[in-house]
Every structure is written in C-alpha cells, then in structure tokens.
Chains A and B, each alone.
Chain A
Amino acid sequence: MEEKVPLFGKTLSELQELVAGYGLPKFTAKQITDWLYKKEVKSIDEMTNLSKKARELLNANHTFGLTEYVDVKESSDGTRKYLFPTAHGKFIETAMIPFKDRKTICVSSQVGCKMGCLFCMTAKQGFQGQLTAGEIVNQIRNLPERESITNIVYMGMGEPFDNLDEVLKSVEVLTSEWGFAMSPRRITVSSIGIIPAMIRFMEECEAHLAISLHTPFHEERQKLMPVQIAYPVEQVVEQLKTYDFSGQRRVSFEYIVFGGLNDTPAHVKALANMLRGLKCRVNLIRFHPVPGTPLHGTDEETLQQFKDSLNSKGILTTIRASRGLDIDAACGLLSTKALLNKSAPS
C-alpha cells in the first residue's frame, strides 16, 4: 500500500497543485493552509469548511502530518530539549532556550550530519536522513512554548544547506502570510558555508545567515572542518561581501573558542582582516567538550580578551551564553546516536 503523504509542511503553491490534481477548487488550498498553520486542529476531519468530498480525498491519500515529541529534558537554567521521532523511524532533537525576555527554538534540519566537524557531537552519529519541511516546522508547531517563541535558529542537528530545498520551504511556511506569518528577521539559518547553496539562500530567502567560521586559517580549519577543502571560508566571506547587509538582514559568524588553538592574537588579526568591509557580528562560543576530541575550551580571561580585541578592531563581537549544558542541549552537543538502533513510531 502506498504511504500517505503528510500535508503539514506543504507550501501554498504545493497545495494548489495538489488540489488541482484532485479536481478541487483552487481556493481549497488556502483553506487547507489556514487549518494547517493557523488553527489548533490536528486531523483532516477537523477541516470543517472543506467539502466532504475534499476531506475524503485528502484522508485517502494524506495525513495531517503532525508528530508529538516523545521525550523532554529540562536544564537547571530552564532550557528544554525535546525528542521527536521522524517519519522514517529515526529521532531528532530540538532545543528551547529561554533567556531574559526571549525564547529561542533551535531546530534540526537533518537526522545526523555528513559534515564531520571535529568538535561536533552530531557529526559523530553520521548521517541518517533528511528532514522534510514538515518535520522541520513540526519542531516548532508541536512545542508547548509555541505561542511565546521569539526566535528560531537552524542550529540543531544537521547542515541546513545540505537540505536546502526543505529548509527553504520550511522558512516559507514560517514567514508567509498564509503560514505562520513570522518575520524572517526572527529566523537565523546557520551553515558551515556550502557556497552554491548559500548563494541560493541569499537570493531566495530573507532570513538571517550565520556562518560557522571557527578559524580564519585555511589549514587549521581544514583539520577542524573537512568542508574547508571543498568550500574555503575565504571564498564564503568574499561571496558574502557581494551582498548588502546595511539593512535589517544580518550575517553573523560563529566562532567556537578552543584553548591554545584558535584564541591567539594572530587569529584576532587574521579574523579582523578577513571580515573587514563586511557588516557583520562575531559570536564567540564556549566549547562544550565532546567525547573523543582532543579539543578543549579556552579560559574565561582569554575569551574576554579575544572579544575585546576583536571589538577594538571594529568587529562587533559578543560571547554567547552557554545554555542547557547539563542536558546536552548546548551548542554542538545534540545527538540521537544512542537511539539509532531503536525504532521510532512511524
């Protein structure tokens, strides 16, 4: 029997195509997006302004497409980590990070990751599959905190630009008037810098961009991040300099600070040189050790000096607060490797 296709996550144009295929009126697509993205219903039967025939057709071939989380862990700082099953029997993690008056959701875009960064726990589980746009948006739609979310960051499991079609669709669902109608300025997509995908993202999406930089030196980055061999960060930055960031759209650079490795004055100088002329921000991140890596975090004094040195060179630099460390929800720690041999309900 053919698998039923979830409706949740479909864009308006996809739904228009779908209803046209069923011989239903075009306006049915807009009615469906209202039920999917604006109302608190969870089944096709509850789409009561659709004709009976429309509901029967949809029920025969589709599911609504929402998936509840199956586990949640809460940190002493209020951060929560949710575990969601995927359609193909795997699991993903989503973090909800409260900080002052903000609530940020950190969503996953893939099950595992192919990029192999030395400092990342997700890399250690390898790659098990792409998430659909529906599975990405579901991580937001199905959280208890949904109504109070202020920001969404694509910084969970996976490399968003390695799943760009679905990531772009998910942002479209989140930001369109027919969808969740969020401002794209509340969304940041983070990537290690896959240049062709980045160019497409910049052209087709208005969300903020964050690039994982971690060192300005080619050979050093090559050791930390194998992607450097294919897409050197120097080229990523040069490409970014061709875009206009003088408006509201932001580009930022993530920089995990490793003790004795990338926290020297030479790094400050090279980083400042590299980013000169680009309106951007650098976010310094404390390293959260993962098993099997030879890396360790820098001390607080060096971290502060590093920040001050960059700021004094005109590079707006902040230190990101570590959150959710005690439940492995902090940056670079998300992983469902331990669950790979367990079956998620599908």
Chain B
Amino acid sequence: MENKIRLDLSPKLNSFPEFMNTQTPELLEVKLTRHEEISPGVYVIGFRRRHDFSPGQAVKLGIDKKHPPRIYSICSGNQDDELCVLFNIKDDGFLTPRLAALTIGDTVYASPPYGTFLGTEEPAWWIATGTGIAPFRAMLRSGMGRSKILVHGVRRLNQFYFSNELAEGLGDNYHRCCSAERMDGVHPGRVTAFLEKRDDFSKDWKYYICGQAQMAVETRDLLIEKGIPFENIVTEIYF
C-alpha cells in the first residue's frame, strides 16, 4: 500500500530561532578555562560562555584562523558559565590531537553557537553513540530531562561519558548499551539491538539520534519500520 506522506511543518525559510546564525559563523578568539581528559583519548574542553544558545547546538572550533575549524556539539548547559565540548582524538585527524595537547589558558578559535538539532520540552527519546552523547548532556543540564528516555551505545565501558550525571538526572530512563564488554546494568550489544527488542515507542514522541552515520541510519530505519513517522525523527550525524 502506498504510504502517503503529509508533513505539517509549516516550513518557512525565516523560521529559524532568533539566535540561529544563518551565515557562516565568525571565529572568535577564546581562552580555555577547562581542559580535562575524562577517559583515555577523550576530552572535555571549555571556555567562558559569551552567547546564549539552545541545547543541542554546536560550535566550530579551530586552533588558528588558517586551518579549517571543525564542528563540535556543545555538552554544557545553557546556564553554565562555561561552554564545553566533548571530543575524542582521531588518529588520522588534524585538529583533535592538537586540541588534546592544549592546556588551560591556551587560545582556541570558536564560533558562536549555531545549528538546528534543538532540544525541546516535548517527550522524546534521545539515542546516542560515543561522543554523540554531548548534545543530550547539554539538554539535560539545561533542564530538559523530563519525559526523556536516553539510550547511549558504546564499544567499551569507559566510553559512558557523564554516566553518573546522566543516571542521576534520568534514573531508570537512562539505558546503556555496550557492544564489546559486559557489566551488570549495561545492556550487551549495540543500540539497535536494544531498540529492536522494545515495543514501547510512541508515534507522537520525538526521536533524536546523534552519533556516527551507520548507527544513525540503522536506528532511523528501525524506528520507521516500527511505525514512527519520519518527521518525528531528527538525526545529527558526526561526519
């Protein structure tokens, strides 16, 4: 049977939130106030927050104005004094090894927050892999934790970043999946295997997916197969 799609998005080109910078954001010089290795090869770095932002947004970060910046989701709350991002070192990357080698007081170049992967107060599933947890931590720290179910999938147990804080904020609605190691209270296997077994997906809820492409695509397909309208699925892929 043909599946006729009707989207009620009331789309308008000028429908961005006021804070949404629709131009290529300018890079501003900032000094690091936080530089912490929270897990082997995984860092939280931060600087004094100068702009309001909506949880889920990102900043561009660079080590100078010569090399292209990269985009990182903000992992701090919108009332926190610091604006922080989470990243892991990419072995073949240019920027992340250099960011990891910085210390507090060093200069980086950051854009104002921007992007439209925006958290809301509406009931939602938050589905992340790896460092894709960052925007959901920002949403939680910004007071959006009510009626949210978070699923975080990782390969190793030491990749459950911010797990204490997430467990405290979300209680039983915080689910962890680990594909390569086992631990009590952690679901064995991938996020998609965990979701596959669930049958409590509401068609009216929003589904936010954040992480690497393969998981995001597979999760999106799985949710669609389970009857979730695709207009209720928002996907942020870490390219």
Instruction: Write the residues of chain A forming the contact surface with B, with a CB cutoff of 8 angstroms.
Output: 113-116, 118, 123-124, 126-127, 162, 194-196, 216-220, 222-223, 226-230, 232, 234-235, 238-239, 258-261, 266, 270, 273-274, 292-296
**Given contacts A218-B15, A226-B236, are A261 and B116 in contact (CB under 8 A)?**
no
Mask for B206-219, Cβ within 8 A of A = 1, else 0? Answer: 00000011101110
Q: How far is the CB of B2 from chain A (nearest CB, A)?
A: 6
User: Quick check: B13 and A218 within 8 Å, CB to CB?
Assistant: yes
Q: How far is the CB of B92 from chain A (nearest CB, A)?
A: 10
User: Quick check: A295 and B5 within 8 Å, CB to CB?
Assistant: yes
User: Quick check: A123 and B217 within 8 Å, CB to CB?
Assistant: yes
The 8 Å CB contact of A226, one of B11, B13, B237, is: B237
Which 9 pairs between the two chains have the least Cβ-Cβ distance?
A217-B11, A126-B214, A114-B213, A292-B221, A226-B235, A226-B237, A219-B9, A116-B217, A116-B237
User: Quick check: A222 and B116 within 8 Å, CB to CB?
Assistant: yes
Question: Which of chain A's residues has its CB closest to B212's CB?
Answer: A114
User: Quick check: B13 and A273 within 8 Å, CB to CB?
Assistant: yes
B117 within 8 A of A: yes
Instruction: Write the residues of chain B forming the contact surface with A, with a CB cutoff of 8 angstroms.
Output: 2-7, 9, 11-13, 15-16, 22-24, 58, 68, 71, 115-117, 212-214, 216-218, 220-221, 224-225, 229-231, 233-237, 239
Residues in A whose Cβ lies below 8 Å from that of B235: 116, 226
Residues in A whose Cβ lies below 8 Å from that of B71: 230
Q: How far is the CB of B238 from chain A (nearest CB, A)?
A: 8
Sampled A-B contacts (16; CB under 8 Å): A116-B213, A116-B216, A126-B217, A127-B214, A162-B239, A217-B9, A218-B16, A218-B116, A223-B233, A226-B237, A227-B237, A229-B236, A230-B71, A292-B224, A294-B3, A296-B3
Question: Which of chain B's residues has its CB closest to A293's CB?
Answer: B224
**Given contacts A124-B221, A292-B221, A293-B224, are A229 and B11 in contact (CB under 8 A)?**
no
Question: Which of chain A's residues has its CB closest to B115's CB?
Answer: A229
- How far is A124 from B219 in the complex, measured between Cα atoms in Å? 11
Residues in A whose Cβ lies below 8 Å from that of B229: 294
**Given contacts A222-B116, A230-B71, A274-B13, are A195 and B224 in contact (CB under 8 A)?**
no
Residues in B whose Cβ lies below 8 Å from that of A127: 213-214
- How far is A227 from B115 in the complex, measured between Cα atoms in Å? 11
The 8 Å CB contact of B22, one of A220, A235, A296, is: A235
A-B contact count, CB below 8 Å?
108
User: Quick check: B220 and A118 within 8 Å, CB to CB?
Assistant: yes
- How far is A127 from B71 in the complex, measured between Cα atoms in Å? 19
- How far is A155 from B237 in the complex, measured between Cα atoms in Å? 21
Q: How far is the CB of B192 from chain A (nearest CB, A)?
A: 12
A229-B117, A234-B13, A273-B13 are known contacts; what are 18 more A-B pairs with Cβ within 8 Å?
Answer: A114-B237, A115-B237, A115-B239, A126-B214, A127-B214, A216-B13, A217-B13, A218-B11, A219-B116, A222-B234, A223-B231, A227-B239, A259-B2, A259-B5, A260-B5, A261-B5, A294-B230, A296-B2
User: Quick check: A114 and B239 within 8 Å, CB to CB?
Assistant: yes
User: Quick check: B13 and A118 within 8 Å, CB to CB?
Assistant: no
Counting chain B CB atoms within 10 Å of each CB, which of A217, A230, A292 scores highest? A230
- How far is A260 from B4 in the complex, measured between Cα atoms in Å? 6
Residues in B whose Cβ lies below 8 Å from that of A194: 239
Question: Which of chain A's residues has its CB closest to B228's CB?
Answer: A294
Residues in A whose Cβ lies below 8 Å from that of B237: 114-116, 226-227
Q: How far is the CB of B96 from chain A (nearest CB, A)?
A: 17
Residues in A whose Cβ lies below 8 Å from that of B11: 217-220, 266, 270
Residues in B whose Cβ lies below 8 Å from that of A124: 217, 221
Q: How far is the CB of A114 from chain B (nearest CB, A)?
A: 4
User: Quick check: B5 and A294 within 8 Å, CB to CB?
Assistant: yes
Residues in B whose Cβ lies below 8 Å from that of A273: 13
Q: How far is the CB of B232 from chain A (nearest CB, A)?
A: 9
- How far is A226 from B230 in the complex, measured between Cα atoms in Å? 12
Q: How far is the CB of B9 from chain A (nearest CB, A)?
A: 5
Question: Which of chain B's residues has its CB closest to A195's CB?
Answer: B24
**Given contacts A218-B15, A220-B11, are A260 and B6 in contact (CB under 8 A)?**
yes
- How far is A288 from B59 in the complex, measured between Cα atoms in Å? 36
